Amino acid sequence: MSALIGIGAGIAVFTGIGAGIGIGIATSKATEAIARQPEAKSEMNKTLILGCALAEATAIYGLVIAFLIIFFSK
């Protein structure tokens, strides 16, 4: 049973893949944008942080679900 719980929690953390890809794309585009227009850097930083926070949330949900599976399935 505990092996299955471990596998379930591991699967839940696969949400990290999406967040990683999302943050990667956002950061690469932000780097390009800043290289093209360095004067608008602060504005872009703000948008980038917002985007990263929203993308990262999915990974965090996965983490929370994994914790819930581990702690509440006994």
Partner 1 sequence: MQDVASQLIEALGSKTVALPGLNGVQVPEFILTSWGIMALIMIMTLVFTRNLKVVPGKAQVVLEGIYLFIHNFLSDILGERGKRYIPYLGTVLLYLAVSNTIGLFGLTPPTKDLNTTAGLALMSIVLVEYAGIHEKGLRGYFKSFASPMPAMMPFNVLEIFIRPLSLCMRLFGNIFGGFVIMELIRLIVPVIIPLSFGFYFDVFDGLLQAYVFVFLTSLFMQEKLEA
Tell me, by CB under 8 A, how many residues bind partner 1.
12
Binding to partner 1 by CB under 8 A, coded x per residue (else -) over 3-42, reads: ----------------------------------------
Cα 9–Cα 62–Cα 20 angle in degrees, nearest 5: 115
Q: How many CA atoms lie within 13 A of 56 on its CB side?
A: 7
> Contact region for partner 1 (CB under 8 A) — 23-31, 33-41, 61-69?
61-69
Tokens of 8: 């379930």
Asked if 63 interacts with partner 1 (CB under 8 A), we say yes
Say what angle helices 2-12 and 41-72 make with each other, to 10 degrees: 170
Q: Which is nearer to partner 1, 35 or 42 (CB)?
A: 42
